[in-house]
């Protein structure tokens, strides 16, 4: 069988997509997680008897429990978005053909 000199195996591999959307979502997930931690800590501090961290926003027990729950939800969703984007950024390309399986050129 004739080997063509114009064959380039790199053309078979798909080009890497520009991942600025994933990087922006990655940063957004990290910000959501950080904001969730801060909000949960403010709600927990009010429940434990410390002065209100956000002024009159969480003076009552119900408001501080609400802040704690919202903070935990934000933390959970931020970590989920962060992990999903990290997994997509690190996945290999679709075609991974080892070099020893390709035809040798004479």
Query: Tell me: the pLDDT tens digits for 11-47?
Result: 666 666 667 888 899 899 999 999 999 999 988 888 8
pLDDT for the residue numbered 101: 66
Work out the percent of the chain whose per-residue pLDDT is above 90: 28
Give the pLDDT band (50/70/90) at residue 71: very high
Q: How far apart are CA 90 and CA 3, in angstroms?
A: 35
Q: Is the pTM of this model over 0.75?
A: no
Exposed/middle/buried for 68, CB within 10 Å: 0-12, 13-18, 19+? Answer: buried
Asked if residue 32 lies in contact with residue 81, where contact means CB atoms within 8 angstroms, the answer is yes
Asked if residue 86 lies in contact with residue 26, where contact means CB atoms within 8 angstroms, the answer is yes
């Amino acid at each position: 069988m004739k080997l063509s000199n114009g064959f380039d195996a790199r053309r078979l591999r798909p080009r890497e997509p520009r991942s600025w959307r994933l990087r922006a979502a990655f940063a957004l997930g990290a910000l959501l997680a950080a904001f969730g931690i801060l909000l949960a800590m403010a709600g927990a501090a009010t429940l434990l008897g410390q002065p209100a961290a956000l002024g009159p926003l969480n003076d009552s027990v119900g408001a501080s429990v609400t802040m704690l729950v919202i903070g935990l939800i934000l933390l959970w969703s931020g970590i989920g978005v962060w992990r999903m984007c990290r997994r997509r950024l690190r996945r290999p390309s679709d075609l991974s053909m080892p070099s020893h399986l390709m035809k040798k050129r004479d």
